[in-house]
A and B are shown apart, each in its own frame.
Chain A
Amino acid sequence: MNFLTRLRRFPFWAWFWFILGALYFILPLYATFSFSLSWDPADPFKAYERSFGDSRFWNSFLYSNMLALATILASIILVVPTAYWIRLRLPQARRIVEFLTLMPFVVPAIILVFGMIRIYSTPFTIPFTDIVLMQPLTNFRAGTNILIVAGYMVLSMPYMYRSVDTGMRTVDIRTLTEAAQSLGANWFTIITRVILPNIRSALLSGALLTFAIVVGEVVLASFLGVSAFGPYLFLLGQHRAYEPAALSFVSFLLTWLAMGLIQLVSGGQGQAAGAH
């Protein structure tokens, strides 16, 4: 095969668009990274040292991680049985539920948080009496945590529901359920030992997307007055130049690490469960 034939077979345009797309993503990242190193030429990683040395960073980061884990857990408990039941028994409700899960794209987070504050900042009373059943959720820490996790569940719903639903589409849910039932399994056993293991890479995708949303979320955290990572990064960006760039770059790395994890799991045995 001579050089000209090889050249003709080279997918030039495919590579052109690929490189152009890659540059579109990589250049801003490189610029951010480069800027984060330019604070002190004698100590290029000064912005990173300062960021990691700040206790508020660790506190807010760990708190956001805890919120993310709680959101993921609660979302799985809510979404998996819902998606499963809809696929199994209520396929006609699928379009309605899909529409509902898309609402966070239509209704902005600011509306959600104002609604929450309006409803949950007054005490729960028995109707037509002054007997207080519960203090306003916004008045105490645990209540606020419940509110913010509930809000995050709403925000992450489109990603979690779609991931789980897509995972279930790759598995013959109905027949596997019937097979397990005929072998004596109850609903709990079916969900925990047959369904969940077979959609675990889909669950992981949903979980990581939820994680990414929660860790960087600003609106709900700011208005509910919690010291989460999103507002911390936002405030930092208003007062400092180099640390936010360093933390943004770290956030990118964390996201990429998460995507790598998804690839690793779904490329390995993760989806093997359903795909075959």
Chain B
Amino acid sequence: MTTHLALENVSKNFGDFVAVRDFNLEVERGEFVSFLGPSGCGKTTTLRMIAGFEMPSTGKITINGNDITNNPPNQRNVGMVFQSYALFPNMTVAQNIGFGLRVRKEKEADIKDRVNEMLATIHMENKANSYPYQLSGGQMQRVALARALAIRPEVLLLDEPLSALDAKIRVSLRAEIRSIQQKLGITAIYVTHDQEEALSLSDRIVVMNVGEMEQVGSPFEVYNFPTTRFVANFVGSLNTAEAEIVDPGKGILNMDGIQLLSSNVLKDKSKGDKVTIAIRPERLSFLAEGKKENVFDGKVENITFLGSVVRVEVTIGTRKFKMDTFNRPSLNLPNIGDAIKATCSDKAVLILKD
């Protein structure tokens, strides 16, 4: 695999405000990378810098090793899908899809073939002569995707393309986007604030916060091994608590007088250091027989059914923890107010960087 798209030390300032700070990323050909973060974290600004709609204040952007930092947007061969679809209202579906090819002055026969090919890809052959206002939101976004792909872009950029759609369409369309991207082997950058979208679509996720990259990794890594408190809190649900290191070699911690064991690295820490620990709710469970480590006495405070999952809130020591367990008919749940014993493996106790 070779680097297809690279951002080197890219920063963007708007006056005194730093929107993106020192952003470094290498994306391989055919990779699907998501920028995930809350509003104002700089993810859309970074995407717009790749598209050429914003110029970086510092740094360099390359595609296939060619520096495109100062190229205007129409000379980058980058396809873009917008949240608001941005279909040309005066053109039919077929004309929208063929627009980029006509701008490139390709032969009319080739344009027709390519438009038909794209219509087949998005399963909308029967809508070729419809105008955008005659389409549903999902259909419009599929046309926008086809239009962006028709020009055979080097990189496909998607700026929260599913945000304006309802939940069911969102799920089906994101599967379609992923399937088309994999089929065409196109490099894609996807901006979203929806962790579920990022986790389900991406090869890699870049979690961003206040203009900086917090963590880059596969969905599995980002979810299971968040390296910072922000990532841990933003991606998925999480229990966090302050703890004191008792024995860094053995990974022993003390949380409000309760002993915890963590298999995660504590090498750079010393005895007495304060750290933030994190445990995913699904990694906590009711005590099975025979376990001696990481066993906590708790009291059930609340029970919530979330469909396939049941969330139990328990007080352990002075802190409230969430426990998620799969819902099944044989599930034997405690009652509110019951005393229980909860446990987790030493791998589940994460140590966060602040």
Contacts and interface: CB of A to CB of B under 8 A. Distances in A.
Interface of A: 171-172, 175-176, 178-186, 189, 193-194, 197-198, 272-276
Interface in B77-128: 77-80, 82, 84, 86-90, 99-100, 103-104
Interface string B56-78: 00000000000000001111111
Nearest to A197: B90
A272 B147 contact: no
A176 B144 CA distance: 12
A174 B99 CA distance: 17
A193 to B, nearest CB: 8
B80 A179 contact: yes
Given A178-B73, A276-B89, A184 B133 contact: no
B74 A184 contact: yes
Interface in B10-64: 51-53
Contact of A198 (B76, B89, B148): B89
B151 interface: yes
Contacts of B53: 178, 181
B132 interface: yes
Contact of B82 (A171, A179, A186): A179
B84 A175 contact: yes
Nearest to B78: A182
Classify chain B's interface size.
20 to 34
- Shortest Cβ-Cβ A-B pairs, 8 listed: A276-B133, A183-B100, A179-B86, A181-B73, A197-B90, A182-B80, A273-B90, A175-B86
A200 to B, nearest CB: 8
Chain A contact residues: helix, strand, loop or mixed: helix
B286 interface: no
Nearest to A271: B89
B89 A274 contact: yes
Interface of B: 51-53, 72-80, 82, 84, 86-90, 99-100, 103-104, 131-133, 144, 147-148, 151, 157
Given A178-B80, A178-B82, A171 B103 contact: no
A172 B77 CA distance: 23
B103 A273 contact: no
A184 B86 contact: no
7 contacts: A180-B88, A182-B73, A183-B103, A198-B90, A274-B89, A275-B133, A276-B132
Chain A CB within 10 Å, residue with most, of B87, B90, B133, B157: B90
A189 B147 CA distance: 17
A185 B89 contact: no
A173 to B, nearest CB: 11
B151 A183 contact: yes
Contacts of B131: 272, 276
B84 A183 contact: no
A104 B285 CA distance: 78
B13 to A, nearest CB: 19
B5 to A, nearest CB: 15
Nearest to A196: B90
A228 to B, nearest CB: 36
A189 B103 contact: yes
Contacts of A276: 89, 131-133
